[in-house]
A and B are shown apart, each in its own frame.
Chain A
Amino acid sequence: MRILVCVKQVPAKDAPIKVAGDGAWIREDVAYETNEPDAYALEEALRQREAHGGEVVALTVGPARAAQVLREALAKGADRAIHVAGDDAHRLDSYAAAEAIARAIAGEKFDLIFTGLQSEDYGYGQTGVVLAELLGIAHATIIMQVQPAAGGVRVKRELENGYFQYLNLPLPAVLTIQSGINKLRYATLMGIKQAKSKPLATVALADLGVSPSLNRQSVAKLYVPVKTKKTELLEGPAKEVAAQLAARLKNDLRVI
């Protein structure tokens, strides 16, 4: 099977993020990492290839710095990578990003396209579904298991409240992968070394005719959420705050 995995570079989970001067995006001087659900999507693609053969191609849409997530994907075992690059590529909405992906892979044939179920920056959770629509192929979301089946794949989809469901899809198809579907591997030294000789193609976003002007939803204002609850913050030496908190639990909340 030939599998395309879409990975995104996002601010690290513990990076202190601050709203930039334009009020519509964050300051760029933060640490970045691979979007976590995308890391699981890559892992799943590698496992499928190891079990059934084929090729794994990693793709990202992002500025120059985003090439790092592709180098990591190659080091973990992806066969080749495609960087859809543009200085403002991180400002694309789901639709424009999906357009960029669809145009970048025109002429290629993939059996499966994996994305993480959502990004940890915008969190739209739509790029994979929109991409399936643009390509005119089937999709399924929040996938916890992928097995080849006659004429396609059998997937386990997560529903709410602890429920799951199996469904069969024809190929090609887009699957959005849930975190926790598998156990992530680390890149080996050998893998990191081999990655240097693997093909990493760069496609300019502008050459695909895609820019943030295609966006169908754009952020007007980004801000620290307005608090709806009065929070009493306790700070100081651990012993003191623990005593204060225990007193609140006993006297105010009456739970001890």
Chain B
Amino acid sequence: MASEHATVLVVAEHRGGKLSAATAEAIAAAQQLAAPWQAAVHAVLLEGAAESGLAAQLARYQLAGVLAARHPALAEYTPEAYTQALQEIVSRRQPRAVLFAHSYQTRDFAPRLATRMARALFGDLTALRVEDGRLTVSRPMFQGRLAADLVVPGEAPAFLSVQIGAFRADRAALAAAPAPIAAEMVAPAAPAAAPEAPFQEAKQAVDLTQAAIIVSAGRGIKEAKNLDLIRALADALGGEVAASRPICDSGWLPMDRQVGSSGQTVAPKLYLAVGISGAIQHLVGMKSSRAIVAINKDREAPIFEIADYGVVGDLFEVVPALIEAVKAAKAGG
């Protein structure tokens, strides 16, 4: 089927004049997918009318080309203008697949684009496999407690977005000579209202990215006052206190203590997750930690999938005992 569609498009994402880190991951996934199809990979760049140097950055990768679609209506991201522009490009180029990084921005417009083209967006993908000519993809379900395989229907194009961190940016093959850059004509309508500039709520008071040891609390701690237990453990270990989203949403800890896709991304020497089940939104923020220890009463909790050491047990018994054991070990016991 569709062997004439020997093209794979990968949509670049950028903010503040820089490509997102996940764009290289999406390129790596596109290169991997294109190989068995012997398809040519083109990167698609959507940007405002001014030349920014982003196309040249994309051209460093091993690509058949960079399609630079420049239009004033694309100067700031809006779902409508992105949907219109990509619909034009996809209709013209007839790719076999269109790849994205599964970022907040992709989640904002790609389902709309896929629906407009009578397709689905297969999102949050951790693996892409071509078997017997059929494309099978994998993604988490039930907050990562289970995984699912889905077979992507054969009719091109397939819209695919890959989970942040699932494909390695350093696997994106670089080109010996820069890939050709071609202007791609698009005419999206100007958005009804331009979005305002992105801002941060407050300067982050705590830089968790610099912490060597992080003790992080999740929903399992049940009440705000039980955070004292987490603080005591962090003190004993000489680490910082962090938390998963529900804890910060409840106001039990300030937002700058939040680890995960909407908080900070950390990679300490030790990440000790207490009462954190390990929803995917949390895991993306800490899975690169050098060592991960999890304490959780649910043996099936996804956090154990990525832990080096796991304690299945009641945190209200384990943590006080661990505080004592750490103090004893420090004292040379």
A positions within 8 Å CB-CB of B: 11, 13-14, 16-17, 19, 26, 93-95, 98, 120-126, 129-130, 132-134, 138-142, 157-170, 178-180, 216-235, 238-239, 241-243, 245-250, 253, 255-256
17 additional A-B residue pairs with CB within 8 Å, beyond A16-B300, A217-B120: A13-B277, A126-B111, A129-B112, A133-B112, A138-B192, A141-B107, A168-B192, A217-B122, A218-B150, A220-B148, A223-B148, A225-B305, A226-B147, A230-B308, A245-B309, A246-B329, A255-B213
Chain A residues with CB below 8 A from B192, complex form:
138, 168-170
Known A-B contacts A233-B310, A247-B329, A250-B329; the reply to A255 vs B237 at CB < 8 A is yes
Known A-B contacts A133-B112, A160-B104, A231-B309; the reply to A168 vs B262 at CB < 8 A is no
B positions within 8 Å CB-CB of A: 79-80, 103-104, 107-109, 111-112, 115-116, 119-124, 136, 139-153, 192-193, 195-201, 204, 212-213, 219, 237, 245-246, 248-250, 255-256, 261-265, 269-270, 277, 280, 290-291, 293, 298, 300, 302, 304-314, 317-318, 320-322, 324-326, 328-330
Contact B140 A235 (CB under 8 A): no
Q: What is the minimal beta-carbon distance from A184 to any residue of chain B, in angstroms?
A: 10
Query: Taking CB as reference atom, which chain A residue is nearest B320?
Result: A238
Q: What is the minimal beta-carbon distance from A227 to any residue of chain B, in angstroms?
A: 6
Contact A160 B103 (CB under 8 A): yes
Contact B305 A231 (CB under 8 A): yes
Q: What is the minimal beta-carbon distance from B275 to any residue of chain A, in angstroms?
A: 11
Query: Taking CB as reference atom, which chain A residue is nearest B143?
Result: A120
Q: Is the contact region of chain A dominated by helix, strand, or loop, or is it mixed?
A: mixed
Chain A residues with CB below 8 A from B305, complex form:
225, 227-229, 231
Q: What is the minimal beta-carbon distance from A200 to any residue of chain B, in angstroms?
A: 28
The 26 sampled A-B contact pairs (Cβ below 8 Å) are A13-B143, A13-B277, A26-B142, A123-B142, A125-B123, A126-B107, A126-B123, A129-B115, A138-B80, A162-B200, A162-B264, A165-B195, A165-B198, A216-B119, A220-B136, A220-B148, A230-B308, A232-B310, A233-B309, A238-B317, A239-B325, A242-B318, A247-B329, A249-B270, A253-B290, A255-B270
User: With A and B bound together, what is the CA distance between A222 and B305 in angstroms?
Assistant: 16
Q: Is the contact region of chain B dominated by helix, strand, or loop, or is it mixed?
A: mixed
Query: Taking CB as reference atom, which chain B residue is nearest A165?
Result: B198
Chain B residues with CB below 8 A from A26, complex form:
142, 146
Known A-B contacts A26-B142, A160-B261; the reply to A253 vs B269 at CB < 8 A is yes
Query: Taking CB as reference atom, which chain B residue is nearest A139?
Result: B79
User: With A and B bound together, what is the CA distance between A168 and B306 in angstroms?
Assistant: 41
Chain B residues with CB below 8 A from A163, complex form:
198-200
Q: What is the minimal beta-carbon distance from B279 to any residue of chain A, in angstroms?
A: 8
Contact B141 A246 (CB under 8 A): no
User: With A and B bound together, what is the CA distance between A224 and B138 in angstroms?
Assistant: 12
Known A-B contacts A216-B119, A220-B149; the reply to A229 vs B142 at CB < 8 A is no
User: With A and B bound together, what is the CA distance between A164 and B195 in angstroms?
Assistant: 11
Query: Taking CB as reference atom, which chain B residue is nearest A250?
Result: B329
User: With A and B bound together, what is the CA distance between A227 and B305 in angstroms?
Assistant: 6
Chain A residues with CB below 8 A from B249, complex form:
179-180
Contact B143 A233 (CB under 8 A): no
Chain B residues with CB below 8 A from A16, complex form:
300
Contact A162 B263 (CB under 8 A): yes
| Option from B120, B197, B204, B328 in Cβ contact (under 8 Å) with A165 | B197
Chain B residues with CB below 8 A from A11, complex form:
142
User: With A and B bound together, what is the CA distance between A238 and B306 in angstroms?
Assistant: 22
Chain A residues with CB below 8 A from B198, complex form:
159, 163-165
Known A-B contacts A123-B143, A167-B196, A246-B326; the reply to A95 vs B115 at CB < 8 A is yes
| Option from B122, B144, B255 in Cβ contact (under 8 Å) with A162 | B255
Query: Taking CB as reference atom, which chain B residue is nearest A168?
Result: B193
Chain A residues with CB below 8 A from B139, complex form:
123
Chain A residues with CB below 8 A from B112, complex form:
129-130, 132-133, 139
Q: What is the minimal beta-carbon distance from A15 to any residue of chain B, in angstroms?
A: 10
| Option from B115, B250, B312 in Cβ contact (under 8 Å) with A134 | B115
Chain A residues with CB below 8 A from B265, complex form:
161
Q: What is the minimal beta-carbon distance from B9 to any residue of chain A, in angstroms?
A: 19
Contact B304 A141 (CB under 8 A): no
Known A-B contacts A129-B111, A219-B149, A220-B149; the reply to A160 vs B262 at CB < 8 A is yes
| Option from B111, B115, B151, B326 in Cβ contact (under 8 Å) with A220 | B151
Contact A121 B115 (CB under 8 A): no
- Which of A122, A157, A227, A253 neighbours the largest number of chain B CB atoms within 10 Å of its CB? A253
Chain B residues with CB below 8 A from A123, complex form:
124, 139-143, 280
| Option from A129, A140, A164, A243 in Cβ contact (under 8 Å) with B199 | A164
User: With A and B bound together, what is the CA distance between A16 and B199 in angstroms?
Assistant: 40
Contact A256 B237 (CB under 8 A): yes
Q: What is the minimal beta-carbon distance from A228 to any residue of chain B, in angstroms?
A: 8
User: With A and B bound together, what is the CA distance between A243 and B329 in angstroms?
Assistant: 9
| Option from B141, B302, B318 in Cβ contact (under 8 Å) with A222 | B141
User: With A and B bound together, what is the CA distance between A17 and B299 in angstroms?
Assistant: 12
User: With A and B bound together, what is the CA distance between A255 and B237 in angstroms?
Assistant: 8
Contact B119 A238 (CB under 8 A): no
Contact B149 A221 (CB under 8 A): yes
Q: What is the minimal beta-carbon distance from B86 to any residue of chain A, in angstroms?
A: 13
